[in-house]
Amino acid sequence: MPGFAADAAPVIALGPSRGRIPVKQTMHEHGAFALLVAPAMLLVATCYFLPLAQVLWISVTEPAPGLDNYAQLFTSASIARMLATTARICAITTLVTLALGYVVAYALTHARPPARRLMMIGVLLPLWVSVLVRAFAWMALLRREGLINSVLLTTGVIAHPLSLIWNEFGVIVGMTHTMLPYAILPMAVQMRQIDPALEAAARGLGADAWATFWRVFLPLSLPGLLGAGLLVVIFSLGFYVTPVLLGGGRTLMIAEYISLQILELLRWGTGTMLATTLVAAILLSLAALSRVVNLRQLFGAK
Amino acid sequence: MAGTDDTTTRSLTLERVSKHYGPTMAVNDVSLRVAQGRFVTLLGPSGSGKTTLLMMIAGFVTPSDGEIRLGAVPIGHLPPEKRNFGMVFQGYALFPHLTVAENVAFPLKVRHRPRAEIAAAVRQALDAVQLSSLAERMPRQLSGGQQQRAALARALVFQPHLLLLDEPLSALDKNLRGDMQAELKHLHERIGLTFIYVTHDQQEALSMSDEIAILRDGRLVQQAAPQTLYERPATRFVAGFLGRSNFLEATVEAVAPEGFAYRCAGHVLRHAGCAKAGMAGELVLMTLRPEKIRILAPDDTAENRLAGTIATWTYLGLEYQLTVDVPGIGPLTVSTPTWRRATPLVGAAIEIGWDADAAVPVAED
């Protein structure tokens, strides 16, 4: 055949295969990392763990060695009442915060990018305002002669001013407001990871908007909801400023109670016992939740 | 439309459908008819509007203009969940929090079917795609091919009016893709459901479809059977997109009832088939597939014959692909089987030829 050689096709020579790069020795790198984290570790150890250990120590030695302080958890009526108040306020705050926060996070996730940025700023803005300032702002709104009461009175909706502050209601309003960003952010981050194609797929397979949310979106956003719930519970358990200012001394929560014991009554044993109990309760709830949710992933660690 | 099984009522018609986003026309005046039980592929390069078109059929995108009908019923205003179309998404979109069986049960659960009926239908659907043994697995525990089959079972379990597939095989590796193509084709023949399939892969479209609709820049260029599209492409784009092709710009010389002669760079060549009276003197664009060009021995005869030299060649296993420089015409791509063929020599003079019906006229676009 014209145009074709008689011999076989040339064999293409392949280059020498490249050797595998040996795995680097990383031991000395570990040493360098240890050196880098050492100052921070030292700071945490001396300024945090040592005092904490001291708190634990005082709680079992003052006024007399033994577990007498802890027995008060079950014998003291005022502590029982305080614990019940704390638990009730935390539970209500958490539920309300999660409900409101979920709606915001959902809207944030489904908004177009420009609107999403605006909403994000709206969520973050309160974080830059002092808790103290926010508490005073709520006072201005909620007190007897405050904006809400005066508007309702002059429009004739109510005849007598409502007591919106210096009670549990005021505390819950203030705490919910403070907690909302802490609930919205983890939920929004987690919702962003849900593939939008899944919602489209659900619709395409015959689910209406409600069924799509109930059967697909909600179950997939559950880890974020749990994580946000945990965060809010932990923060609100130890809340001090807002309950003190908006509770008006009548709604005693554990943080204010501890400060009262130590600063006013000088009952160090009771105060430190309650502080230890608070830390233990938080660690226990973290441990319980870590069985359900991957906490490291929840808080952004890899 | 529910309750009627008359074949004509389930044909899908798109009439002058357009979709624009601001000034950009994603889909521009497309009319398409898909008869009941056909396997129709929407084929086009990325950005051709094929996915937007599918999303309009599915109900995720509302047409700016035009009408979509199932049988005689307009469905353009219905949300996706009211259309009763099965859909296999690119990347499958299996629900990660549900088992394979729960995924397949999903369309029936949201339709509030009785529990026993759901169980039976799920079992049957999983059997049909050979996934029964993996029913209790989570989607992430499945291989790509298994996920693909689960998505298929989920899209078919509720007996949809038609099945929409959005590049369902693009995530699979090449060998698996071939197997799944055959499986899909077989499934289509078995259940006789209308399939509308979106792909940018020409081979996939050719090997699976009853009909291919070729889209370009939002417009429907040609809708026909694969053989028709390949052998008699309507435009230069179709010829070039569906396989490789040579193009000859020529002038019609003489017209006869059975064909015409055309002049290309001084060579007079002959075409058999599609001739119109009065086309003499017109410019014509001829397309010629590389595999229809023969390499001629000195004593071979051919209706069209040109001399040239081998400029380059590539070994493709099945065939040699040669570039032959023909004086005046330029480079022509020629493909020839490798079996019992010696290695081509660059620079060697050869003669090539083709039958009069091998080159066909196409519209310039």
Q: What is the DSSP string of A187-221?
A: HHHHHHTS-HHHHHHHHHTT--HHHHIIIIIHHHH
Quick: pLDDT tens for B186-227.
Answer: 999 998 899 999 999 999 999 999 999 999 999 999 999 999
Residue B351 CA to residue B300 CA, distance in Å, equals 10
pLDDT confidence bin for A32, thresholds 50/70/90: confident
Report CB contact under 8 Å: B60, A215: no
Residue A164 CA to residue A171 CA, distance in Å, equals 9
**Does the CB of A213 have a partner CB in chain B at under 8 Å?**
no
pLDDT confidence bin for B310, thresholds 50/70/90: very high
- Chain B positions touching A200 (Cβ under 8 A) are 60, 80, 89, 93
Question: What is the residue type of B93?
Answer: A
Quick: pLDDT tens for B31-80.
Answer: 999 999 999 999 999 889 999 999 999 999 999 999 999 999 999 889 99
Residue A50 CA to residue A35 CA, distance in Å, equals 21
Quick: pLDDT tens for A117-164.
Answer: 999 999 998 888 888 898 889 999 998 888 999 999 999 888 888 888
Whole-number pLDDT of residue A131:
85
Percent of chain B with pLDDT over 70: 98
Does A17 score more than 80 pLDDT?
A: no
Between B96, B154, B349, which is nearest A205 by CB?
B154
Out of 1.10.3720.10, 2.40.430.10, 2.40.50.100, 1.25.40.390, the CATH code matching B244-362 is 2.40.50.100
Positions of CATH 2.40.50.100 in chain B:
244-362
Residue B8 CA to residue B15 CA, distance in Å, equals 16
Positions of CATH 3.40.50.300 in chain B:
7-233
Residue A209 CB contacts under 8 Å (≥ 6 apart), including other chains: A203
Q: Backbone phi, then psi, for B336, in 5-degree steps? A: -140, 140
Alpha helix ranges (H) inside B212-324: 226-231, 236-241
Whole-number pLDDT of residue B10:
81
Which residue in chain A is spatially nearest to B298 when comparing CA positions?
A2
**Does the CB of A205 have a partner CB in chain B at under 8 Å?**
yes
Task: Suggest the residue from B95, B154, B167 to mutate for an interface test with chain A (most A CBs closer than 10 A).
Answer: B95
Burial A104-127 (b: 16+ CB within 10 A, else e): bbbebbeeeeeebeebeeebeeee
Mean pLDDT of A71-93: 92
Report CB contact under 8 Å: A5, B341: no
Whole-number pLDDT of residue B41:
96
Tokens found for residue B262: 């055309």
pLDDT confidence bin for A298, thresholds 50/70/90: low
Question: Which of B 137-156 lie inside 8 A of A, CB atoms?
Answer: 154-155
Strand partners of residue B13: B33, B69
Tokens found for residue A243: 């309950």
Q: Which domains does chain A have, with CATH numbers?
A: 84-298 (1.10.3720.10)
Does A43 score more than 50 pLDDT?
A: yes
Tokens found for residue B213: 């609709």
pLDDT confidence bin for B8, thresholds 50/70/90: low
Which among B18, B45, B21, B48 has a CA at the least distance from the CA of B31?
A: B18
Burial class (CB in 10 A: 0-12, 13-18, 19+), B158: buried
Residue B106 CA to residue B255 CA, distance in Å, equals 63
State chain A's maximal CA–CA distance in angstroms. 111
Q: How many residues does chain A have?
A: 302
Strand partners of residue B335: B321
Out of 3.90.1150.10, 3.50.50.60, 3.40.630.90, 3.40.50.300, the CATH code matching B7-233 is 3.40.50.300
Report CB contact under 8 Å: A5, B344: yes
Residue B214 CB contacts under 8 Å (≥ 6 apart), including other chains: B43, B44, B220, B221, B222, B223, B229, B237, B238, B241, B242
Between B59, B106, B342, which is nearest A5 by CB?
B342
Between B59, B95, B341, which is nearest A4 by CB?
B341
What are the strands, taking DSSP E only, across B103-156? none
Q: Backbone phi, then psi, for B42, in 5-degree steps? A: -95, 115
Residues A121 and A267 sit within 8 Å (Cβ to Cβ): no
